Amino acid sequence: MADQQFEILETPIETDEVIKKVERREAGAITTFIGTVREWTKGKKTLYLEYQAYKPMAVKMLKQIDHEIQAQWPDTKLAITHRIGRLDISDIAVVIAVSSPHRKAAYQANEYAIERIKQIVPIWKKEHWEDGETWIGDQLENVPYPAGKPEIKDEES
Amino acid sequence: MADQQFEILETPIETDEVIKKVERREAGAITTFIGTVREWTKGKKTLYLEYQAYKPMAVKMLKQIDHEIQAQWPDTKLAITHRIGRLDISDIAVVIAVSSPHRKAAYQANEYAIERIKQIVPIWKKEHWEDGETWIGDQLENVPYPAGKPEIKDEES
Amino acid sequence: MITVLLFAHLQEEAKTSQIELEVDRITVDALKKDLAQRFHLSQLEHAMVAINEEFALNEDTIQSGDAVAIIPPVSGG
Amino acid sequence: MITVLLFAHLQEEAKTSQIELEVDRITVDALKKDLAQRFHLSQLEHAMVAINEEFALNEDTIQSGDAVAIIPPVSGG
């Protein structure tokens, strides 16, 4: 069901489950992006993360990303699952799977999806270090939204 | 073991097994490319495929691709498994997994790997259609090698 | 009445995830200023406001019954 | 003696996956011409030759004992 292509879960993500949602006979390529909790960021050791979401809007925004991708890469099929709650090092925070007859679109649509997630999907992470904790927002990784809808930028995470 | 990062198998590929080979605490991103057998190519219906490899050289070339990737994206870890033998529609022919602290390198190295596989790794596929069969080579998808080593081109599959 | 949802650091600063405002109509801009003052919320100038799960502009008007959420810069993925 | 491995369509055309040549030394170029004539192999001009699992150039020399493979344009992935 199309409705389950986009999920916010409070339990561990099974990558295979997300991949299964995009499998089809027309596909020649499936790309997946698996976002995992990294131990070190800019010299600081992360102990664990906490993710919070505005769930109904987050699902709605994931579907909007799907609409945007269908407009640009019409032959693709997309599934995204994001986990929230407490995540330890190496735990999977997000899985994005894209299938397509040809590989170029599968790579491009996949990368577009993660960039848009980091811009418009209301999910926040709190970093817990040995010496403190902070909700991550514009002060570290992002920049404030310009007026209106956030635009695509080329940024790392 | 580094030796098992690059494999040619005659049995179905488990995507999760390939992903596991690149998991590590430094990783914030894992990208995977899953090449599957597509039913339709340019209006022609494929019944099944047959892959053949020059196995020892294929593994050697996969390791060469790893060297090339380490030179360009030093923080990445790569694993590739290619299946040979008879494959049906939707079966997985190849899985490429790349982990990296940051996502950009994980996408770029992954796409580089599939492009290089299609250029230098001695693996061939035979398409079986309803009305015939053909080993795929320069006549359909590829171009002949120029003198010396094949170069990167931007091509679709 | 307007219900305002708070997330991330805003939730911790306000010590609540939900605020009920006794107003019938208010612009997004005025809402942000009002909340910043009364609940000492930081960096509200960098936050977006969602009305009924859609991003809104500063000039947009919130009406009684709308579901409003303050969306600080997101950091998912 | 030189052992030459064939793959894909070349294997089917030659009706064998392996050819033994009773020569001591031969250039890659001469080998391709020789094989094309004797075994009616097609599109050899588009094939690469690998000596001991490394791509070789047309001018390279193959010596007795080398493992040689004819590599038509690959189509893996």
Residues A124 and A140 sit within 8 Å (Cβ to Cβ): no
Superfamily of domain B6-135: Molybdopterin biosynthesis MoaE subunit (3.90.1170.40)
Q: What is the pLDDT of residue A41?
A: 87
Q: What is the pLDDT of residue B137?
A: 84
Q: What is the pLDDT of residue A42?
A: 86
The residue ranking higher by pLDDT, B150 or A116, is A116
Residue C50 lies in a domain: yes
Q: What is the pLDDT of residue A3?
A: 54
- Please enumerate in sequence order all residues whose Cβ is within 8 A of that of A37, keeping only pairs 6 or more positions apart, or say none: A46, A48, A49, A87, A88, A89, A90, A91, A93, B28
**pLDDT by residue, tens only, chain B of 157 residues:** 445 999 999 999 999 999 999 999 999 999 999 999 999 988 899 999 999 999 999 999 999 999 999 999 999 999 999 999 999 999 999 999 999 999 999 999 999 999 999 999 999 999 999 999 999 985 434 443 433 344 444 444 4
Average pLDDT over residues A137-154: 45
Residue C38 lies in a domain: yes
Mutate to test the interface with A, among C9, C44, C54, C74 (most CBs of A within 10 A): C74
Residues C4 and C35 sit within 8 Å (Cβ to Cβ): yes
B vs D contact (3+ beta-carbon pairs below 8 A): yes
Q: What is the pLDDT of residues A78-90, one digit of tens each?
A: 999 999 999 999 9
Tell me the HSE value of D53 on the side-chain side, using a 13 A CA sphere: 12
How many domains does the structure of chain D reveal? 1
Q: Does C52 have pLDDT greater than 50?
A: yes
Residue C77 lies in a domain: no
Q: What is the ipTM of this complex?
A: 0.92
Q: What is the pLDDT of residue A137?
A: 84
Residue D76 lies in a domain: no
Structural domain for C61, as ranges: 2-71
Residue C76 lies in a domain: no
For residue A102, the tally of other CB atoms under 10 A from its CB is 18
What is the domain partition of chain B in residue ranges?
A: 6-135
Q: How many Å lie between the alpha carbon of B152 and the closest alpha carbon of chain A?
A: 14
Domain containing D10 — which CATH number? 3.10.20.30
With cut-offs at 50, 70 and 90, classify the pLDDT of residue A138. low
Residue C21 lies in a domain: yes
Q: What is the pLDDT of residue B153?
A: 42
Could you say which of A35, A143, A144 has the minimum Cβ distance to residue C77? A35
Give, for D32, the enclosing helix (H) or strand (E). helix D28-39
Contact A135 C9 (CB under 8 A): yes
C vs A contact (3+ beta-carbon pairs below 8 A): yes
Q: How many Å lie between the alpha carbon of C10 and the closest alpha carbon of chain A?
A: 10
Taking CA–CA distances from B27, the nearest residue in chain A reads: A38
Q: How many Å lie between the alpha carbon of A127 and the closest alpha carbon of chain C?
A: 11
Mutate to test the interface with B, among A19, A75, A103, A104 (most CBs of B within 10 A): A103
